[in-house]
A and B are shown apart, each in its own frame.
Chain A
Amino acid sequence: MRWSPFHPGSRRLSRYVDGDVTGRGRVRILHHLGRCHRCRTHVQELRRIGQRAREARVPPPPDGLFERIKAALLAGERSILPPVPPDPATQAPSNRAISGRLTIIGAALVPVLMVAALVVFATGPLEAHRPTLKLAPGTPRAGNPLAVSFVGGSVLGGGDRLTLRAKIFDNRGDWNVATAPLRRSRVRRGYGGEIILRPGTTYAVFAVEDSVGERVETSAGHPWEVVIRDGQGRPSLEGLGQQVARHLTTRLDLALEAAHAMTEHHPGSAEGWSTLYAVERILAGPEGADELAERHRHHFARLEREFEVRRPTPGDLAAMALYARSVGDPASRERWTARLLRDAPHERLAVQMRIQELQKASSGDASHLLSEYERLWMELGPGTDLAVTGLALASGLDDGAAAVRWAERVMAVDPSTRPSVALRLARVPEALEVAMALIRRELRDIETAESRNVRLPGVDVHAARLDVERTRTRLLAALGEALIEEGRPRAGADTLRLAAAPTWDPALFRQAAGALLSLGDTLEALPLLARVAVDPVTGAEERSELDALAARHLSTDEWQAEMAEARSRMRRQILASATRRRLPSEIPVTDRAGRSHDLRSLLHGEVAVVSLWYCFCAQFESLVERHRGVVEMLVAAGVPSYTILVVDPDADAPAGIEGPGPGPPLLFDGEGAALRAFGYAHTPAYFVVDAAAQVRFAYPTTDEILTRVEVLRQSEGLRAVPSP
C-alpha cells in the first residue's frame, strides 16, 4: 500500500460520508483524513449538515386534518397509493451474475477454514430505514447521566418499552454490562431513557432490544459506541485505545480511525503514537514497513525530547518501550526497556518482558522456571499474564498442587475464567478433586448465568442460552471423564450421557458410548452410536463397524429405527441452534479480472458455504494450508462454496489459496459489501447459507459444516450430502 498523500474529491468524500466507500478505499481515505486538516474539516461539515437536516423543524399536522380525512372517506373518496418498493432484505435476486453461476463441483475448491467464535447477528435493519440511537450530551462525561433516544428500524418499533443494553469499559480496563429502560416518547418519535455512566467510564457500546431480549437492534449489525470525554473535553485516551482494541481484528478501518483520534486529541501521548504505528503496520504489510518506520521516527524523536522535560506516566513508559522496539535504534530500545522495568515494573508490558527473560534464562528446565514464576509473583503481586502463564506451566508439569495454586490466582484476578480454569485443571490427575468441585460449582451457577445480566449488547437471549448450554456440555463432559479417572466409571458414563443429551457432537457421542461399552452396557451405548452413524462426517468404514456392532444386539428394523430417531434428533438439535439472517438483495463482489458478480445471486437456490477472509491478520499465510483441506472435503461432498477476500482484486492473494486444478475464481470484496452483509470476517470466518440466501450458521467448525449443510438440505427437500 502506497503512503503518498492524495486529496479525495468532494464526490468521493460525499460517498465516504454515506458509508459507500469501504475496504481499502476507505482505509486510504481515513489515513488521509488523519493527516489533512482541510479534508477532515470538510467531512465534519458534511456530517453536520446531515445532522442539521435530520434535526430541522417539522411542523405538526394541521388541526382538523383527521376530521377532513374522515369526512372525505364518508363522502366516498378513495385513493390508490403507489406501490411500495419491496423490502430489499427480502427481495429475491432477479439477475444472475454476468458470468453465470460459479458452481463448484468436482474441482479443487476455494478453501474454507474453521474459526470458532460467538457473534450473534441482529435480524438486520431495512436498508431503507436505519435505526438511530442518539445520546445527549453528544460528548458525554463519566459520572453523569446520559439521555438516550432511539428510533427503531425494521426490527423494533412497537410496544411501549424497550431495553438499552450497554457494555461499559472503565479506566482500569475492566468492563461491566448495564441495562436501562427505554419508554415510548409522548412528544416525539421513538423511545427515550437515561443511563448513568459511573466515574471512571471510558468507552461504552450499546444495543437496543425488546423487553425479553429476543429481538435486538444495532447499527447494521454493530453496536453503537461512544468514547467518553476526559476532564479537558477530549475523547479519553483509554476509551480510544479500547475502541482500537475492539475493532482491530474485524474492522481495521474503524481501528485506524480511532488510532488517528488518539494522536489528534492526545498528541503528547506515547500510547497514541505507538498504537497508530501498530495499526498502520498491519495495513502497510512487509512492503510498506520501512517507509512507515521512517515516518514514525520523527514522532518517536519528538516524544523522547518531550519526556526529557516532563515525567512519563507508566503507560507512556510501556508505550515508548514498545514504540522503540519498532522504530527506535538499539540504544533507545535498551534505554526505554530498562526504564520501563525500573520505573513501572507492574505495567503489563514490563511483566511480559520479565516472563520472557525468565523463559530465555531457564534453558528448558521447566521446574526451575515454575519456581522463578513463584518468586516473580511474590515480588510483583497479582497479574493476569503471570497467573495464566504459571497455570499453563504447572498443568503441563502435572504438578497438581502448583496447578491448583495458580488456578486460584487466575480466578482471583478474573472470576469469569472459572469455567476454563476448571476444564484445564480436570486434565491434571492430581488436581482432579479440585477440578470436580469447581465444575460442580460452575454447573450450579450456570443456571443463573442469564440472571447475572452478563449478556452483551447485540446478543439475544437465544444466542446467550446456546452459549450457556455449550459451556454446560463442556463442563459435564469434563466431569464425566474426571469421574472415570477417579475410578467411578458408572457415574462417569452417566454424566457423559447427560452431557451428550442436548447437543449434537459426534465426538462426545463416541466418548459417552465408549464409557458405556467399557461397562458392558452395549444396549445403552447403541442410541449414541446411531447418532454417530447418521452424522454425514462419519466415514463408511466406521459406519460399517457400527452396523456390525448393532447387528449383534438389535434386529435390522430396530437399528433402522434407532438411526431414524437419530436423524430426527440431529435435525431438531442443529436447527434449534440455527439463526436466520437475511442478506441484502445485492452483494457486489469482483473476481480477479475485475468483473462484477452479485454474491447474493450466486447463493440463491442451493445450500452453500461462504468463507470471508480478512487479510490483515499476520497469520494469514500460515492458515491457507488448513483451508485447502477443508475445500477438498467440500468439493468431494458436492457442496458449493465461495471464498471472498476482503481486499481489492489487485491485492496479492497468498499463494495456494486458489487451490490446484479447475475451480471458481477467488472473489474480492474491495468495497466491503460482503463484510457488511455477513458482519464478520476472519482467517477465515465460515457461514452456511440456505437456499434462500439466508445465513443459518455462523462460524461452524470443520466437523460441523457438512452436518449443517445436510440438515438444511433435508429441511428444504434438497439432495443429501454424499457419504464420504
Chain B
Amino acid sequence: MSPAPDMNRALLRRVQEGDPVALGHLYDRYASTVYGVGFRLTRSEDDAEDITHTVFIGLPLALRSYAARGSFEGWLRRVAVTTGLKVLRSRRRECGLTDAILASVRSRARGDRQIIAGLTIDEALARLPDGLRVAFVLKEVEGYSHREIAEMLDITPGASMTRVCRARTRLQKWLGDGA
C-alpha cells in the first residue's frame, strides 16, 4: 500500500495491524470529522456515535483496500458517508414496512402543513425527511455531484436534483426571514 501524501505510512500500517495507540492518533485527528458527517446526515447524536464507532472499528480492515490516492481525509469522509447511509437504511428497515409508510406519511404531512417559520437551521434540518436531508447534505455540505449522490442513494441524478430542490424549498419556508 502506498501512502497518501498527507498520512504517515507507518501510522497507517500500525492501524492496519491493530495497534490501538496508532488508532488513537487517527481518532484524535479525525473523530470530529467522522462524527460531524454522521451527525449532519442523521441529525441524531446517537446515530452519529454509532457511525463513528463503526468506522473506527472497521478502519483496520478497510485500510487494506485504501488506494492512497488523494487526501486521506477525503477518503475517510467518503467512508463516513457510506456508513451513515447504511445506518439510515437499517434504521428504516427496523421500522418495518408499515411503520416506514406511516413515518413517510407523517413526515410529508409535517412538511405540507408546515406553517411555522423562523426555525433555527438545526431545527429546520432536523425536520427534513431523511431522503431530502441526506441529498441536501451530500450536495451542499459534502460537495458531491448529483451523479455521485445518485449512485450512493441508488436513484437517478434527476431525482437527486429534485430532492435537493425540495429540501431547499422547505428550508426556505421554515427559516422564514432568517434565510
B16 at interface by CB-CB < 8 Å = no
B117 at interface by CB-CB < 8 Å = no
Contact between A53 and B121 (Cβ–Cβ < 8 Å)?
Answer: yes
Tell me which residues from 1 to 47 in chain B have a Cβ below 8 Å from any Cβ of chain A. 4-7, 18, 20, 23-24, 27, 31-33, 35-36, 39-40, 45
Contact with B along A116-142 (1 / 0, CB 8 A): 000000000011111000000000000
Majority SS at the chain A contact face: loop
Contact between B58 and A157 (Cβ–Cβ < 8 Å)?
Answer: no
Contact between A58 and B36 (Cβ–Cβ < 8 Å)?
Answer: yes
With A and B bound together, what is the CA distance between A189 and B80 in angstroms? 16
Task: List, sorted by A's number, 8 A–B pairs whose CB atoms are closer than 8 Å.
Answer: A45-B172, A53-B136, A54-B141, A70-B23, A74-B20, A90-B69, A129-B78, A152-B71
Contact with B along A67-80 (1 / 0, CB 8 A): 01110111001111
Stretch of A81-89, A105-113, A327-335, A567-575 with 4 or more beta carbons under 8 angstroms from chain B: A81-89
Shortest CB–CB separation between residue A117 and chain B, in angstroms?
28
Chain A residues with Cβ under 8 A from B56's Cβ?
A: 66, 69
Chain A residues with Cβ under 8 A from B65's Cβ?
A: 83
Given A49-B179, A126-B70, CB of A81 within 8 Å of CB of B55: yes
Chain B residues with Cβ under 8 A from A14's Cβ?
A: 161, 164-165, 168
Given A62-B49, A84-B82, A127-B145, CB of A155 within 8 Å of CB of B57: no
B: contact size bracket: 35 or more
Given A11-B161, A66-B27, A127-B145, CB of A81 within 8 Å of CB of B58: yes
Chain A residues with Cβ under 8 A from B164's Cβ?
A: 14, 18
Tell me which residues from 133 to 178 in chain A have a Cβ below 8 Å from any Cβ of chain B. 152-159
Shortest CB–CB separation between residue A169 and chain B, in angstroms?
29
Contact between B148 and A128 (Cβ–Cβ < 8 Å)?
Answer: yes
B53 at interface by CB-CB < 8 Å = yes
| Complex A-B, nearest 6 residue pairs according to Cβ-Cβ distance, in ascending order | A158-B6, A157-B71, A154-B70, A81-B58, A14-B165, A79-B58
A592 at interface by CB-CB < 8 Å = no
Contact between B71 and A73 (Cβ–Cβ < 8 Å)?
Answer: no
Chain A residues with Cβ under 8 A from B20's Cβ?
A: 70, 73-74
Please, which residue of chain B has its CB at the minimum distance from the CB of A129? B74
**Out of A57, A65, A85, A88, which one reaches B122, CB within 8 Å?**
A57
Contact between A82 and B82 (Cβ–Cβ < 8 Å)?
Answer: yes
Residues of A within 8 A of B (CB): 10-11, 14-15, 18, 20, 45-46, 48-50, 52-54, 56-62, 65-66, 68-70, 72-74, 77-85, 87-88, 90, 126-130, 152-159, 189, 215, 586
Residues of B within 8 A of A (CB): 4-7, 18, 20, 23-24, 27, 31-33, 35-36, 39-40, 45, 48-49, 52-59, 61-62, 65, 67, 69-75, 77-79, 82-83, 85-86, 121-122, 125, 136-137, 139-148, 151-152, 161-162, 164-165, 168-169, 171-172, 175, 179
Please, which residue of chain A has its CB at the minimum distance from the CB of B8? A158
Given A45-B172, A81-B83, CB of A127 within 8 Å of CB of B144: yes
Contact between A156 and B71 (Cβ–Cβ < 8 Å)?
Answer: yes
Please, which residue of chain A has its CB at the minimum distance from the CB of B43? A56
**Out of A50, A61, A70, which one reaches B32, CB within 8 Å?**
A61
**Out of B6, B78, B139, which one reaches A157, CB within 8 Å?**
B6
Given A58-B40, A84-B78, CB of A77 within 8 Å of CB of B57: yes
Contact between B143 and A79 (Cβ–Cβ < 8 Å)?
Answer: no
Contact between B45 and A62 (Cβ–Cβ < 8 Å)?
Answer: yes
Please, which residue of chain A has its CB at the minimum distance from the CB of B139? A18
Given A82-B86, A88-B148, A127-B148, CB of A11 within 8 Å of CB of B162: yes
Given A11-B165, A45-B179, CB of A66 within 8 Å of CB of B62: no
Contact between A66 and B74 (Cβ–Cβ < 8 Å)?
Answer: no
Please, which residue of chain A has its CB at the minimum distance from the CB of B133? A53
Q: Which of B36, B142, B143 has the most CB of A within 10 A?
A: B143
Shortest CB–CB separation between residue A123 and chain B, in angstroms?
9
Contact between A128 and B78 (Cβ–Cβ < 8 Å)?
Answer: yes
Contact between A155 and B71 (Cβ–Cβ < 8 Å)?
Answer: yes
Contact between A158 and B7 (Cβ–Cβ < 8 Å)?
Answer: yes
Given A10-B165, A49-B171, A69-B53, CB of A84 within 8 Å of CB of B140: no
Contact between A128 and B61 (Cβ–Cβ < 8 Å)?
Answer: no
Given A18-B164, A73-B57, CB of A157 within 8 Å of CB of B125: no
Chain B residues with Cβ under 8 A from A65's Cβ?
A: 31, 49, 52-53
Contact between A50 and B54 (Cβ–Cβ < 8 Å)?
Answer: no
Shortest CB–CB separation between residue B148 and chain A, in angstroms?
6
Given A73-B18, A155-B71, A189-B33, CB of A130 within 8 Å of CB of B143: yes
Chain A residues with Cβ under 8 A from B143's Cβ?
A: 127-130
Please, which residue of chain B has its CB at the minimum distance from the CB of A55? B121
Chain A residues with Cβ under 8 A from B148's Cβ?
A: 85, 88, 127-128
Shortest CB–CB separation between residue A469 and chain B, in angstroms?
26
Given A53-B136, A77-B57, CB of A61 within 8 Å of CB of B52: yes
Contact between A61 and B122 (Cβ–Cβ < 8 Å)?
Answer: no
Please, which residue of chain B has its CB at the minimum distance from the CB of A86? B67
With A and B bound together, what is the CA distance between A579 and B91 in angstroms? 47
Contact between A80 and B172 (Cβ–Cβ < 8 Å)?
Answer: no
Shortest CB–CB separation between residue A349 and chain B, in angstroms?
44
Shortest CB–CB separation between residue A129 and chain B, in angstroms?
5
Given A129-B77, A158-B4, 17 extra CB contacts under 8 A: A11-B162, A11-B165, A49-B171, A52-B121, A53-B125, A56-B40, A59-B45, A61-B49, A61-B52, A62-B45, A78-B58, A80-B58, A127-B148, A128-B144, A129-B142, A154-B69, A155-B70
Contact between B4 and A69 (Cβ–Cβ < 8 Å)?
Answer: no
Contact between B137 and A157 (Cβ–Cβ < 8 Å)?
Answer: no
Shortest CB–CB separation between residue B133 and chain A, in angstroms?
10
With A and B bound together, what is the CA distance between A128 and B79 in angstroms? 12
With A and B bound together, what is the CA distance between A18 and B18 in angstroms? 41
Chain B residues with Cβ under 8 A from A74's Cβ?
A: 20
Contact between B172 and A49 (Cβ–Cβ < 8 Å)?
Answer: yes
Contact between B82 and A83 (Cβ–Cβ < 8 Å)?
Answer: yes
Chain A residues with Cβ under 8 A from B82's Cβ?
A: 81-85
With A and B bound together, what is the CA distance between A154 and B67 in angstroms? 13
**Out of B32, B141, B147, which one reaches A60, CB within 8 Å?**
B32
Shortest CB–CB separation between residue B27 and chain A, in angstroms?
5
**Out of B53, B62, B151, which one reaches A68, CB within 8 Å?**
B53
With A and B bound together, what is the CA distance between A46 and B173 in angstroms? 11
With A and B bound together, what is the CA distance between A80 and B58 in angstroms? 6
Chain B residues with Cβ under 8 A from A127's Cβ?
A: 143-145, 148
Please, which residue of chain B has its CB at the minimum distance from the CB of A584? B145
Contact between A61 and B31 (Cβ–Cβ < 8 Å)?
Answer: yes
With A and B bound together, what is the CA distance between A78 and B164 in angstroms? 35
Shortest CB–CB separation between residue A672 and chain B, in angstroms?
14
Contact between A158 and B32 (Cβ–Cβ < 8 Å)?
Answer: no
Contact between A157 and B72 (Cβ–Cβ < 8 Å)?
Answer: yes
Given A11-B162, A14-B168, A84-B75, CB of A159 within 8 Å of CB of B145: no
Contact between B71 and A153 (Cβ–Cβ < 8 Å)?
Answer: yes
Contact between A154 and B58 (Cβ–Cβ < 8 Å)?
Answer: no
Shortest CB–CB separation between residue A553 and chain B, in angstroms?
49
Contact between B146 and A20 (Cβ–Cβ < 8 Å)?
Answer: yes
Contact between B53 and A56 (Cβ–Cβ < 8 Å)?
Answer: no
Chain A residues with Cβ under 8 A from B141's Cβ?
A: 53-54
Chain A residues with Cβ under 8 A from B69's Cβ?
A: 87, 90, 154
Q: Which of A49, A56, A72, A154 has the most CB of B within 10 A?
A: A49
Chain B residues with Cβ under 8 A from A79's Cβ?
A: 54, 57-58
Contact between B175 and A52 (Cβ–Cβ < 8 Å)?
Answer: yes
Chain A residues with Cβ under 8 A from B33's Cβ?
A: 189
